[in-house]
Amino acid sequence: MPLTLVRNDITKMDTDAIVNAANESLLGGGGVDGAIHRAAGPELLSECKTLGGCKTGEAKVTKGYRLKARYVIHTVGPVYRDGKHGEEALLSSCYTNSLKAAADLGLTSISFPLISAGAYGYPEQEAIRVAVKVISDFLETREMDVYLVFFISSIFQKSHEQYPELAEKIERISLTEEKAVLSETKRRKAAGKNSFFVYNAMLSGAHAFREDAEQAEPLPTACAEADSADLASRLKELDESFTEMLLRKIDESGMKDSECYKKANLDRKLFSKIRSNTHYRPKKNTALAFAIALRLSLAETEELLKKAGFALSESNVSDVIIRYFIEKGVYDIFEINEALFDYDQVQLGA
């Protein structure tokens, strides 16, 4: 997937490169910088000493040494003052120059921390906005898997505050699930030792069924042939497939294929598989990603999902979130993914 939000320790990310939110000396420090130097080992510091530092907004590359990543791309974020001293432009440059460095090396995956949002004081939600904008703009013309890594889970609480109606819907689902769990627990306790006899009775019934099945008379040949002919007739009348509907909707939208799959936060290889196979069965979140990219109505989204064998459920947190945004007319896939991430749900395109 081109852009994914993850909760992890960035030093443990298994991507071609990880980005270090460094200081201008490149000689290590606190936070992410210190953690990366400790995990990479003293060889990283030795190489950094040869680079002559790094200016704010720029990026320099070293080997990864003891890290899973082959490279570390060091970039220096701006210290936030009041947002009126070029902080956003400098922060954007950090992401742009890091991505360019990765592309120049021919890398296919990269992990970023949230640059400048720690000791440098950049407001977290603004820092996220800048990161997502620069990365998504880059991915419009380049192929790369990009991860935005958060070490703590408290950074994302925006959805709870910004979408109170959505929060209420999800709270109701959680309460329903809790009641269901309690009810099942009580039922199991009430069953107690009798459950063993119920289980044996079920096994006996299943055994009897198998014996009956083995003794059953085979269908007459004429009936079997009639059923076969009826099935063949039904198969000829199948409605358009998921792939056929998707390609039709893309044509109707006036989008190019590349524009559509990038808006869906998907890569070219997956889209090629779908295009080349009329009967391709996508994952549910892939189908939903295309629905968002094509700005389909709720009815159209449900129709596209049905072609893939899925449906939206009012008892599924992820489905409730996606339905909420479609009903509100919000089709920014990264904004939707932020909400999914906030509620620990699988992101669209993943």
Distance CA(58)–CA(98), nearest Å, equals 8
Q: Provide the 8-state DSSP code for 59.
A: E
Alpha carbon separation from 9 to 5, 70, 116, 130 (Å, rounded): 13, 16, 17, 21
Residue 335 corresponds to which tokens in the numbers above? 């904004």
CA atoms within 13 A on the CB side of 295: 10
Residue 227 designated active-site? no
Residue 83: which region, alpha, beta or left (left: phi > 0; alpha: psi -120 to 50)? left
Vertex 306, ends 342 and 164: CA angle to 5°?
25
CA atoms within 13 A on the CB side of 211: 6
User: Of residues 16, 33, 319, 342, which has the active-site annotation?
Assistant: 33
Read off φ and ψ for residue 81, nearest 5 degrees. Answer: -105, -70
Alpha carbon separation from 195 to 185, 187, 192, 198, 202 (Å, rounded): 13, 10, 6, 5, 10
CA atoms within 13 A on the CB side of 288: 24
How many residues in the chain? Answer: 350
- Which residues are annotated as catalytic? 33
